[in-house]
């Protein structure tokens, strides 16, 4: 199962999904129904699991043959009410089990009640039973992960014994795939790994995203001059300042101010001053740079995980924050 939520982790969900269809992917997962609708409208016929559907999206789910996750009584009861009055024979759904992430899903004590409601509704087919790991990237939490895996085995064995058919079982995200082969079950959900990342950069994976810009202007600032809003940087020497047309409206958070670096002519140029809405500034001293030169914010070598670290965040956040204003080019 390929996870293409959040616009394919900040890239282009439709283009990524079409490529994956050509590679025979079995399933897609998105977070919300609208993301699945976008895939369907582009002609994708592959089954689509909606991980976190909301009660205002029943019509989209049915119209576009999306497969909702059943994860709470609130969602389940409203969904059953909705399908009761429709001339639907069977809806394909997925049952989310909480094994310790304590985020979404039915806990062990709720399983019987939930299954009773599903059986009574009559029209629901549980295509899969699944859960999500809390710390699959953390070797210090192995014991916890194993306890989640064994609870999942116990609960799915029980549920399968009640149903008259055998649903698909799945539990691993990217770090689960890489770190816990005993967690493969029938299917795995690859998200950020598809894009070349995992939580502890594994050199076998090649990050696919490159974020590029240019130097749109160069300013010669004098010793003592302040740079940008709130004067958060004062030049300690005469400084050549590069103006880069990317800002917090593009997903470069203000927390990168005075911390991150970008690559210009193979050299590191430090971000100075606050990040503005549409631009940020870098120190070009010692770099033989001119207006119009290419700026690499991140690529496969100076990757988004390293860039993210300078502002104490993770690749997931920086990639999915890239706003629609940034032009996407899919190469290859």
Q: Check if the beta carbon of residue 134 is closer than 8 Å to that of residue 151.
A: no
Q: Minimal distance in Å, beta carbon 7 to ligand PLP?
A: 13
Give catalytic status of residue 5 as yes or no: yes
Please identify, using beta-carbon distances, which residue of 177 and 271 lies nearer to ligand PLP.
177
| CB-based closest residue to ligand PLP | 191
For residue 331, give every residue at least 6 positions away whose Cβ sits within 8 Å of its Cβ, in sequence order, or none: none
Crossing angle of helices 13-22 and 33-41, in 10° steps, is 60
In Å, how far are 132, 137, 143, 172, 181 from 140, measured between CA atoms?
A: 18, 9, 8, 18, 17
Q: Check if the beta carbon of residue 136 is closer than 8 Å to that of residue 152.
A: no
Please identify, using beta-carbon distances, which residue of 30 and 215 lies nearer to ligand PLP.
30
Q: How are beta strands 239-244 and 280-283 bridged, if at all?
A: antiparallel
Residue with tokens 């390929």: 2
In Å, how far are 242, 289, 290, 293 from 214, measured between CA atoms?
A: 9, 11, 10, 5
**C-alpha to C-alpha distance for 154 and 58, rounded to whole angstroms:** 31
Residue in 5, 27, 64, 96 annotated catalytic: 5
Please identify, using beta-carbon distances, which residue of 50 and 275 lies nearer to ligand PLP.
50
Q: Minimal distance in Å, beta carbon 316 to ligand PLP?
A: 7
Residues that bind ligand PLP (CB under 6 A): 3, 5, 51, 132, 173-174, 189-193
- E strands along 97-238, which residues? 124-130, 168-170, 211-214, 217-221, 226-227, 233-234
Please identify, using beta-carbon distances, which residue of 193 and 273 lies nearer to ligand PLP.
193
Q: What does the chain come to in residues?
A: 332
Q: Where would I find the H helices in 163-204?
A: 174-179
**C-alpha to C-alpha distance for 274 and 104, rounded to whole angstroms:** 37
Q: Minimal distance in Å, beta carbon 190 to ligand PLP?
A: 6
Q: Minimal distance in Å, beta carbon 107 to ligand PLP?
A: 16
Please identify, using beta-carbon distances, which residue of 83 and 190 lies nearer to ligand PLP.
190
Q: Check if the beta carbon of residue 53 is closer than 8 Å to that of residue 64.
A: no
Q: What does the block give as tokens for 84?
A: 């009761």
Reported as type and span, the H/E element at residue 306 is: helix 304-309
Residue in 154, 229, 259, 300 annotated catalytic: 229
Please identify, using beta-carbon distances, which residue of 193 and 207 lies nearer to ligand PLP.
193
Please identify, using beta-carbon distances, which residue of 4 and 241 lies nearer to ligand PLP.
4
Residues taking part in catalysis: 5, 229
């Amino acid at each position: 199962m390929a996870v293409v939520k959040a616009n394919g982790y900040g890239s282009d969900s439709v283009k990524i999904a079409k490529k994956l269809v050509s590679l025979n992917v079995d399933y897609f997962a998105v977070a919300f129904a609208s993301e699945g609708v976008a895939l369907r409208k582009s002609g994708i016929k592959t089954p689509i699991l909606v991980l976190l559907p909301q009660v205002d999206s029943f019509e989209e789910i049915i119209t576009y043959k999306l497969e909702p996750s059943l994860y709470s009584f609130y969602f389940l009861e409203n969904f059953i009410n909705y399908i009761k009055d429709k001339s639907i024979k069977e809806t394909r759904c997925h049952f989310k089990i909480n094994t310790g992430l304590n985020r979404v899903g039915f806990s062990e004590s709720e399983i019987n009640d939930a299954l009773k409601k599903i059986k009574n509704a009559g029209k629901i087919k549980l295509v899969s039973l699944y859960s999500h790991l809390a710390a699959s990237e953390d070797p210090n939490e192995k014991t916890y992960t194993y306890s989640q895996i064994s609870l999942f085995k116990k609960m799915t064995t029980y549920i399968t014994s009640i149903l008259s058919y055998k649903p698909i079982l799945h539990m691993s995200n990217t770090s689960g795939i890489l770190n816990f082969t005993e967690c493969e079950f029938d299917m795995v959900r690859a998200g950020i790994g598809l894009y070349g990342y995992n939580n502890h950069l594994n050199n076998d994976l090649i990050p696919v995203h490159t974020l590029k810009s240019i130097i749109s202007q160069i300013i010669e600032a004098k010793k003592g001059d302040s740079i940008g809003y709130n004067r958060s940087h004062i030049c300690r020497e005469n400084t050549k300042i590069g103006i880069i047309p990317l800002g917090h409206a593009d997903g470069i958070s203000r927390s990168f101010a005075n911390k991150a670096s970008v690559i210009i002519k193979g050299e590191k140029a430090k971000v100075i001053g606050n990040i503005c809405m549409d631009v940020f500034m870098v120190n070009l001293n010692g770099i033989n740079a001119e207006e119009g030169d290419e700026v690499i914010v991140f690529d496969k070598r100076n990757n988004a995980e390293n860039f993210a670290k300078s502002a104490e965040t993770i690749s997931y956040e920086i990639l999915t924050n890239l706003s629609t204003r940034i032009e996407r080019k899919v190469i290859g």
